[in-house]
Amino acid sequence: MSNRVKIPINLDIDSLLVGTGGREDYKRNLKSGIIYFVSLLCIDNYYKYKSSDGYRTLNGEYLDNVIGRGKKTPRRSVVIKRLLEENGVIEIRGHQSGVKSQGFRLTEKYTTGEFSRMKLDDDIIERIKLYSKGVISNEDEIENTKTYNQLIEQFNNHELKIDILRFNTFLKKIGKEVFEKIDNTRKNKVYNYKSYFNYFGYTLSIIKDIDDKDYFFSIPESNRRFYSNLTSFPKLYRPFLLIDGNGVGEVDIMTSQSYILSTILNERFYKRIGNGYNLTTIHPNLKIGIDNLGRNNPSNQIGRDIFITGVFFSSMMLEGIRNYTNIDFTSDYYTFILEEGKRLYPNHINKHKVFLKGRDYIKGQIMNFLFEWNGYNREGNPFGELMELLYPELCDYVIRFNQFYTST
């Protein structure tokens, strides 16, 4: 996990500890516990906890183990909660029947959306790793970020700035319009104001971090995606980013999984070895491994040279795959698939009412289509059947790939 967490920028932790007494190491542990506890209550968007009035339910035993000294001597966690409540930092909702937890939320003073980042002590990080599984939804992050060094180094190799004059003009215009709309509403006005200040405060805090070169990098174990200040920066404001004084162009691939699949099914992705978008430049060790899979797996018909991700393709199958890789992904992929179905297989489309949902139905089925390895679970799925009709060779590849790599 990351060793840096967010706390409200206007929270002075040292002042909370004045008069607590005890040795310096005791105060240091209290401070570390406060930092982690408060970070659990920091939210970027007020909507996240709307259903529970902003309260986050936290397991009492977990808190005792991480910010206290275990359930046998929970005094430290009790002191931390009392300090925060008595000083107006948090509000506590009492125990609920059948739940070994309490609800906590930051008071209104600390929900402006502006955060600073603070480091956690190593010992509390170890306790989080030990006790958080199944209790806290915060994702574990990968420990070895070596394969992401090329991305991380870009933040040191280039100067990242905001075109602050243009940005401020735009933000004031947007802010004024939104404020006036909220002011003219009667319903949920207080809640809308909180969301308003939270959103703009969050945006400004990211800009401050960028100006201060206070970058963070996060890579969750679950999806291996690379998160940073840039990915957290709202899309609306990205046109105001400058890299080395130059404006930034952004390409948003709305159907990234399907598009990436089409690129890796292209023979050139494997055969090219020079600079550019190919497996050799992206992951050379994986290229060697996949080549070995193709050569060493008897089911892949040794002696034939058409292998994609280690899975054998005949020339006829490859021709069918090209029908998919030639799709124009600059258009709306989901709409394209639906329209192709209506054009070529209208009876199938008319037979299943789910297609009346339009492109959103197609979009909602993509991940299951790509990653469900069990063929039985695919049977009877209208979208899967449509893809079988449109791209039978692609479906054969997806099933074989998932069975080969995931059915263990």
The model's pLDDT over 196-218, given as tens digits with 9 standing for 90+, comes to 777 787 788 788 888 888 887 87
Residue 70 has pLDDT above 60, yes or no: no
Amino acid identity of residue 201, one-letter, is G
Q: What is the DSSP string of 80-101?
A: HHHHHHHTTSEEEE-PPTT-SE
Higher pLDDT, 145 or 204: 204
Q: What is the DSSP string of 355-376?
A: GGGTHHHHHHHHHHHHH---HH
CB 36 within 8 A of CB 124: yes
Q: Which of 310, 323, 324 is CA-nearest to residue 279? A: 310
Q: What angle do CA 401, 147, 209 make, to 5 degrees?
A: 120
pLDDT at position 377, please?
Answer: 61
Residue 345 has pLDDT above 90, yes or no: yes
pLDDT at position 138, please?
Answer: 47
Higher pLDDT, 113 or 64: 64
Residues 6+ apart with CB under 8 A from 267: 306, 308, 318
Higher pLDDT, 108 or 389: 389
Taking residues 276-295, report their average pLDDT: 76
pTM: 0.47
Q: How confident is the model at residue 306 (pLDDT cuts 50, 70, 90)?
A: low
pLDDT at position 240, please?
Answer: 92
Taking residues 324-352, report their average pLDDT: 92
CB 324 within 8 A of CB 394: yes
pLDDT at position 140, please?
Answer: 46
Distance CA(49)–CA(55), nearest Å, equals 6
pLDDT at position 298, please?
Answer: 42
Q: How confident is the model at residue 241 (pLDDT cuts 50, 70, 90)?
A: very high
Say which range, 99-103, 245-249, 358-362, 396-400, has the weakest mean pLDDT.
99-103
Residues 6+ apart with CB under 8 A from 133: none
Query: What percentage of residues in the chain have a pLDDT greater than 70?
Result: 79
Q: How many CB atoms lie within 10 A of CB 127?
A: 20
> Could you tell me the CA-to-CA distances from 311 to 21, 163, 262, 398 in Å, in that order?
67, 48, 15, 10
Taking residues 343-360, report their average pLDDT: 93
Burial class (CB in 10 A: 0-12, 13-18, 19+), 18: exposed
- Over the chain, what is the mean pLDDT? 79
What confidence tens digit (pLDDT) does each residue in 311-331 have?
777 777 888 888 999 998 878
For the CA atoms of 7, 10, 11, 17, the dihedral, rounded to the nearest 10 degrees, stands at 150
Residue 47 has pLDDT above 50, yes or no: no
What confidence tens digit (pLDDT) does each residue in 151-165 have?
888 888 999 999 999
Higher pLDDT, 205 or 343: 343
Q: What are the φ/ψ torsions at residue 7 (nearest 5 degrees)?
A: -135, 160
What confidence tens digit (pLDDT) does each residue in 176-197 have?
998 888 888 877 777 777 777 7
Q: What would the two tokens of residue 150 be? A: 């090329």
Residues 6+ apart with CB under 8 A from 206: 229, 232, 233
Start-to-end CA distance of the chain, whole Å, equals 28
**How is residue 158 annotated by DSSP?**
S
Q: Which long-range contacts (CB under 8 A, 24 or more apart) does 266-270 make?
A: 266/325, 267/306, 267/308, 267/318, 270/307, 270/308
Residues 6+ apart with CB under 8 A from 24: none
Q: How confident is the model at residue 347 (pLDDT cuts 50, 70, 90)?
A: very high
Taking residues 395-402, report their average pLDDT: 84
Radius of gyration of the chain (CA): 26
Q: What would the two tokens of residue 142 be? A: 């990968």
